[in-house]
A and B are shown apart, each in its own frame.
Chain A
């Protein structure tokens, strides 16, 4: 037998592997590393949710569910979104339960894009956005946002990148990696641009519960935005349920129907037991969420203050659990900073350039890390910086 000679997917081959991988491999080989590189909560899933899931397994929640997901879950999701964000979706045909936001994002892009359609991706942004656009046959158009303005979504910068092929703008608020939570005004300006230029807003709101300065503004809640918004949300970050792989996507019925069609042929349904867990999370885990958010907020204050005292300034992160400080004072590139910090002081951070070119000169630090470790990490970063002056 000879190996196949025809080329594999050129679209996938052309997509570089995630820049995070290199640091993961390096950190794995070392002991005593304090990792500020983890993009998930350090809390376990609230016990009541886990208990319910265990019970559900004993009662046979081991089957497929309907493609859309348990109706009870969709009803709770829509009620939750209405109550918290003031957005209205019909559980029956405007809300789909997915295997996390990751699947929802893929569905949205595949349902929206025709080959060659452009998707503007304000960066720095989550590492999967641009590859997912490319995998769906689209052309990602990264547009740099300004660190001096706290990485706010600047409609003028986005407008400058709009072409007749622009089909959507894809962004996350609050943002991984910057922690920026977008204001209602900036979202309104973007929505007005979307109306004028006729494109969609694909809004990743996975960190919606984790905001620290005022309430989350959902893109779909902005005047005039609902009809052209895809709202992606889930349980991973708010409820510390990353490994359950359960989220949802909400959109106007015409688009939701197409996403449903892809989902029914590919994923079939999100994991049944995870859907049961998500129902329980929405029913009973509010006190735990409140406690976790208060705890992140305390760590955020301490950590950002600590970074600031070390001369690593960052815009006040309004949400998620990331700080994205500038490391330009060190005179190093993001990659060199992260690599040397790991080798010399055993603190793992993620170099900012993996989130887009404008992330260069920054590193992403997750404060979803136990408080004593955060304090140790600050000390080690301090020693690292001191050794360079």
Chain B
């Protein structure tokens, strides 16, 4: 059954009919499995992987390492959730190491991202420090290589 997810992860537009042909699982079983995963939140949504550099829409991404003040009896969940709710925030992860949260912020310009970090993010309760790294270039995203594909060097007919 997990093979259905493998197919969908590579191509979110694969139809149940096509998934059935690829996996050998009956089409109605494929539909039922997908419906169940959608209901359970295993499948969150269907997305396209977009190469922003190639699109050239000028959007800016930064990874912001956030340090959170420890407080007795409170973990990171409340701070993380407050940060995650901002529209500008694309991703929030709790990480090991010197900082606590790694936050991905997106904006239409460096200034917009910088303002967000300075005025909103750093102002969240218990956030004691931020360290911002602007993304310069993406080489691989979401498991997808964004560099030019290797040319197929195979001869057209071989034994």
Contact of A40 among B6, B21, B150, B154 (CB under 8 A): B154
Chain A 271-310 interface 0/1 with B at a Cβ cutoff of 8 Å (1 = within): 0000000000000000000000010001101100110000
Assess whether B159 is in contact with A298, with CB atoms less than 8 Å apart.
no
Assess whether A24 is in contact with B22, with CB atoms less than 8 Å apart.
no
Smallest CB-CB separation from B149: which chain A residue? A44
Chain A residue total in the interface (Cβ 8 A): 27
A1-50 interface with B by 8 A CB criterion: 18, 20, 23-24, 27-28, 33, 35, 37-40, 42, 44
Contact of A20 among B21, B22, B152, B159 (CB under 8 A): B159
* Residues on the B chain within 8 Å of A305, using CB: 21
Assess whether B159 is in contact with A126, with CB atoms less than 8 Å apart.
yes
Assess whether A301 is in contact with B22, with CB atoms less than 8 Å apart.
yes
Do A37 and B156 contact each other (CB < 8 Å), given the known contacts A44-B150, A294-B3?
yes
Assess whether A301 is in contact with B155, with CB atoms less than 8 Å apart.
no
Number of contacts between A and B (CB, 8 Å)?
A: 53
* Residues on the A chain within 8 Å of B3, using CB: 294, 298
Assess whether B157 is in contact with A302, with CB atoms less than 8 Å apart.
no
Q: Helix, strand, loop or mixed for chain A's interface?
A: mixed
Assess whether B156 is in contact with A35, with CB atoms less than 8 Å apart.
yes
* Residues on the A chain within 8 Å of B18, using CB: 302
Do A20 and B158 contact each other (CB < 8 Å), given the known contacts A42-B152, A298-B7, A302-B18?
yes
Chain B 1-15 interface 0/1 with A at a Cβ cutoff of 8 Å (1 = within): 001001100000000
Residue A348 at the chain B interface, CB threshold 8 Å:
yes
Assess whether A38 is in contact with B154, with CB atoms less than 8 Å apart.
yes
* Residues on the A chain within 8 Å of B24, using CB: 301
Assess whether B22 is in contact with A38, with CB atoms less than 8 Å apart.
no
Assess whether A39 is in contact with B158, with CB atoms less than 8 Å apart.
yes
Assess whether B157 is in contact with A37, with CB atoms less than 8 Å apart.
yes
Residue A350 at the chain B interface, CB threshold 8 Å:
yes
Assess whether B156 is in contact with A298, with CB atoms less than 8 Å apart.
no
* Residues on the A chain within 8 Å of B150, using CB: 44
Assess whether B23 is in contact with A298, with CB atoms less than 8 Å apart.
yes
Assess whether A37 is in contact with B21, with CB atoms less than 8 Å apart.
no
Most chain A CB atoms below 10 A, which of B3, B6, B7, B24: B24
Assess whether B159 is in contact with A301, with CB atoms less than 8 Å apart.
no
Cα(A251)–Cα(B108), bound, Å:
66
* Residues on the B chain within 8 Å of A18, using CB: 159
Residue A127 at the chain B interface, CB threshold 8 Å:
yes
7 A-B pairs within 8 Å (CB atoms) are namely A27-B157, A33-B156, A37-B158, A38-B154, A38-B155, A39-B158, A302-B22
Spell out B's residues near A (CB within 8 Å): 3, 6-7, 18, 21-24, 150, 152, 154-159
With A39-B159, A301-B21, A348-B157 already in contact, 4 other A-B pairs whose C-beta atoms are closer than 8 Å: A27-B157, A127-B159, A294-B6, A348-B156
